[in-house]
Structure 1
Amino acid sequence: MHGNRKKAVIFGAGNIGRSFIGNIFASNGWRVIFVDANSELVDRLNNRGSYTILIKRNNRGDETVTVSGISALHSSQSGEIIEELCSCSLCATSVGQNALRFVVPQIAEAVKTRAASGQPPLDVIIAENIRNGADFFRGIFIEKGLDGSEAGLVETSIGKMVPTMLREDLAVDPLILHAEEYNTLILDAEGFKNPVPDLPEIKAVKNIAAWVDRKLFIHNLGHAAAAYFGYRKFPERHLIAEIITDNEINTLVRGAMNEAAASLLSEYPEDFTAQTLQEHIEDLLYRFGNLALGDTIFRVGRDLSRKLNRNDRILGAAGLCLKHGLPCNKIMEVFNAALDFRAVDEWGAMYASDTEFLKKTAVFSIDESGSSSLIFSLLGLKDDDLILEQLIKEKLLLRKKDKTGN
């Protein structure tokens, strides 16, 4: 029925799965099958066989993209999913770290079946915002009786910005998505077992770790910095684009990104130059100012327990600076601003876990004694993070003085 048409199975029919990964393959003539746990979404995709993306362009009109040639399976349809995985050209995941543990076993089962029947190995594009995603997959593969080398495990750097859809937009079309114009998928050339797909949107690199860190420590750091500094100065504003044009905020965000760029240049001198990193920062600041995209301060800043973790965008970047003996004062000011973040969604509610997280950090702000172990457990610091711990303590003590006057 579908002849020799290439096929991609994509786990996750959410914002990135549909607006980015699915769109890339479908627009190049591939048949795309989504797998998702949302039965209502699966039914709608199957009934329509297409969906619409509004490309929100900075200071220009919208571009409408219709993605067709798609279908969907519910995540409970294990038999059908494995059958599709055994006959597809590649698969991808875009489900978030918490859901991966349910998805990877299904992929492992298909990898076994393909190997037993003499089929080519399966390449898996890990389109997740996690570090060392291939190791995560490999660990579950080994638990399922594989040795971890039977499939291509392809890590990525996901740089596309996709806002949370508003209720009024979904009321008109529940499948519609908004996304920015940027559409380059950076992935690990070394992870493939088969040839890298020859698609114009794909940029295959040899040292994916460098590009994952660039995304986390420049893009994610800068985006979070804009949210935290923006909320602190303009708590009544809602959009990232509304605050990034403020000279003070722009300077603070740029300063943190520049500190991180210096550490990346020291860590990965063969992958980046000062010029390419600076050009990347300027491009990001321009993209952050895309008013048409409607990206909210709430979306970008929420989930503090994750974003303030030792291995994430802020403390991770600070740690890399310290590793190379470089200053991280401006990055640590992002950490400080994050502790004042109280932005709310369109319903007027804070992100569920942020309320509890901020209650715990408030204890640190007023209690200097004995706080080391609490800081370690809450932020995920390691035993050898003594300098970083001291920097955090200094910020918390300053917060205490500001609040008490002592």
Structure 2
Amino acid sequence: MKALHFGAGNIGRGFIGKLLADAKVELTFADVHPVLLEELSRRKGYNVNVVGEQATVEPVSNVSIVNSTGQEAIDLIAQVDLMTTAVGPTVLEKIAHNVAKGLVLRHRQGNESPLNIIACENMVRGTSQFKQHVFNALPEDEKAWVEAHVGFVDSAVDRIVPPAAAGSTDPLEVTVETFSEWIVDKTQFKGPLPDIKGMELTDNLMAFVERKLFTLNTGHAITAYLGQQAGHATIRDAILDPKVREVVKGAMEESGAVLIKRYGFDADKHAAYIKKILSRFENPYLHDDVERVGRQPLRKLSAGDRLIKPLLGTQEYSLPHANLVIGIAAAMRYRSEQDPQAQELVESLTTQGPKATLVEVSGLQADSDVVAQVVSAYEKMH
């Protein structure tokens, strides 16, 4: 099997790329970063530090790389069996034009074998959204052929991949936690289902997408926002603070109650899943800054994301949400000189005030009780 993976950053190398390479897939990365292009072209491999109780160094070898904006990437799309991405939600639209060109070339070359595309992004049904971008870039007379021969497969991905440790000089070395989860919607594939160790096939993807979004993502974000409020630098320091932990755990239990109602999850198993997530945040070998985890607060406060979506679920089923409210208020207090969205948030809060800002960003009803609750919690924080 041949695969092309867009995005040779930490998640691309440490998670999806590693799983594909371990499965002996013939793997080519696509990226624009000059250092990654140069080093991967020269070395054809890199080391992954898997950190936990038993730390190991796992080499990845026999990989290659092309420039994602160039003809080589287009040519490969015409040939490969699988295409994956880990580029970040905002970059999907940017790579869609070249992907469309590759699909047109595939058709012209008469390649009738199925191609499956999986966007491995931290977003709900990211591949379906990517498909829209690709179809917007396709000529009208190519759409039917692509619909028939290309599977756009949604997935849920979960692995904490922090930035390289300070002092690391190898631009390809990457550190990951032991835990990883890659769940894909088996109903969306074209052709035979792939057999890749570490890829889990399901016919009920939304249950797993929301389980991850409402637990790991919700908890991670609230840990970061409350951690920053309490003066902690790392996720580990924040989650070991009893006051922070109490709210984070409470918020995950509130969002978990929504999942149990919506998907029939087993309550004891879900409690164990929450416990597992908390232990991952405590991992002493992962040095993850609260500022990094909290970045892009406007996206994280949007209606379909990790804070507001579970809150809406609690309203739908008339469930408690006091801890989620505190988490949302803390997100509005997030500050970062390095993050344009944090700057935008501050500007909006200064010019419009907390209520109008929250309503605009989240889509919540201005006159709702929950908006009043968040604003009240926000005003109590300094």
What's the TM-score, normalizing by structure 1?
0.86
Within 5 Å, which residues of 2 pair with 1:80-119?
A: 80-116=72-108, 117-119=110-112
Which one of 357, 369, 376 corresponds to residue 359 of structure 2?
Answer: 376
Tell me whether 1:355 sits opposite 2:343 in the alignment. yes
Single out whichever of 116-125 and 306-315 deviates more from structure 2. Answer: 116-125
> What is the TM-score normalised by the length of structure 2?
0.91
Is 1:256 aligned to residue 239 of structure 2?
no
Of 223, 226, 229, the residue aligned with 1:226 is 223
Supply the distance in 1 between the matched residues of 2:10 and 2:47 (Cα, whole angstroms): 12
Secondary structure of 2:99 counterpart: helix
When residues 99 and 82 of structure 1 are mapped into structure 2, their CA distance, relative to the original with a 3 A threshold, is same
Alignment of 1:41-52 (within 5 A): 41-52=36-47
Distance in 2, Cα, partners of 1:204 & 1:196: 9
Residue in structure 2 matched with residue 194 of structure 1 by the alignment: 191
Q: Which runs of 5+ in 1 are unaligned?
A: 1-5
> 1:262: how far off?
0.7
How big is the shift at 1:156? Answer: 1.1
Q: Write the distance in 2 (CA, Å) between the matches of 1:252 and 1:208.
A: 28
C-alpha displacement at 1:45, in angstroms? 0.4
- Bigger CA drift: 8-17 or 191-200? 191-200
Q: Classify 1:41/1:325 alpha carbon distance in 2 versus 1 (closer, same or farther; 3 Å).
A: same
Contact 1:114/1:121 (<8 A) preserved? no
Q: CA deviation at 1:305?
A: 1.1
- Partner amino acid, structure 2, of 1:114: R
Alignment size in residue pairs: 375
Q: Which residue of 1 aligns with 2:204?
A: 207
Q: RMSD between aligned alpha carbons?
A: 2.2
| Offset, 1:395 | 2.7
1:395 is matched with: 374
Q: Read off the aligned partner of 2:97 and give its amino acid letter.
A: P
Compute the displacement of 1:400 (Å).
Answer: 4.2
Q: Give 5+ residue unaligned stretches, structure 2.
A: none
* Counterparts in 2 of 1:359 and 1:30: CA distance versus 1, 3 Å: same
Q: Give yes or no for contact 2:125–2:155 (8 Å, CA) kept in 1.
A: no
Quickly say closer, same or farther: Cα 1:175–1:118, change in 2 above 3 A.
closer
Cα deviation, 1:299-337, whole Å, max 9, x if unaligned, reads 111221111122211111101111122121211110112
Q: What per-residue deviation string (whole Å, max 9, x for no partner) do you get for residues 329-384 of structure 1?
A: 21111011223333x5xxxx442331331232245557xxxx54x5432x1406xx
- Aligned partner of 1:163 in structure 2 is 162
2:11 is paired with a residue whose SS is: helix
Aligned-residue offset at 1:231 = 2.1
Query: CA offsets per residue over residues 56-104 of structure 1, 9 Å max, x none?
Result: 11xx2521111111010012222x2122222212110111122111222
Pick aligned residue for 1:75 from 68, 77, 96: 68
Q: What's 1:31 paired with?
A: 26
What is the DSSP-based 3-state SS (H/G/I as helix, E as strand, rest coil) of the residue aligned with 2:154?
Answer: strand
Within 5 Å, give how 1:207-356 maps onto structure 2. Answer: 207-233=204-230, 235=231, 237-269=232-264, 272-342=265-335, 349-356=337-344
Runs of 4 or more off by more than 6 Å in structure 1? none
Q: CA deviation digits over 1:263-309, x for unaligned, max 9?
A: 1122222xx22223222111101111001111111111122111112
